[in-house]
Amino acid sequence: MPWGKGSITPEMATALRCQDRQTGLGVNATHTQIFYNLGMDRVHFAPQSDILHFVNSEHFRVLDIIKTVYQGLGTIPRVEQLFLDEHGYYKGALMLSMSAGEVEAVLVALRLKGIKISIASD
C-alpha cells in the first residue's frame, strides 16, 4: 500500500490491531470518541443502552457474525450507520441496537470469533 493507496494487506491489518486503543470509555463517551477507539477486532458495548458500536472490515466481518446470530434468532438486526460529520460525508462506526434478549447471543458469538469487547464503565 505505497502512498496510502490500495487494500490493506493481512500484515498491515495485524499491525493496526496492535495499536493502542482506549478501552475504558465511560457511559458518556460520544459516538466519535467510541469510533476512534474501535479496531477491526474490537467492538464497544454500552450495557446501559444495549448498544454495540463496531466497524466492519474484510479481515473481521463483524456484521456477518451479527447477521448470522439474528438469523438464528429469527429477527432482523437494527444497524445504523453513524457519521463523523453533520452532512453524512464521512462514515464512522456502525451501531447495533439490541433488546435485552439479544445481547448475550451477540456478545458470545463475537467472543467465539475472536472479537474483543470493551464495555462502557460507569
**pLDDT digits over 84-112, tens only?**
888 989 988 899 999 999 999 999 999 99
DSSP states of 63-118: HHHHHHHHHHHTS--EEEEEESSTTS-SEEEEEEE--HHHHHHHHHHHHHTT-EEE
* 3-class secondary structure, 46: strand
pLDDT value of position 102:
97
Q: What is the pTM of this model?
A: 0.77
pLDDT value of position 39:
76
C-alpha grid cell, residue 63: 456484521
State the maximum Cα–Cα separation within the chain, in Å, rounded to a whole number: 46
Percent of the chain with pLDDT over 90: 44
- Which residue ranges of the chain lie beneath pLDDT 50? 1, 3, 18
Domains of the chain with CATH codes: 28-119 (3.30.70)
pLDDT value of position 112:
96
In degrees to the nearest 10, what's the CA dihedral of 26, 27, 28, 33? 60
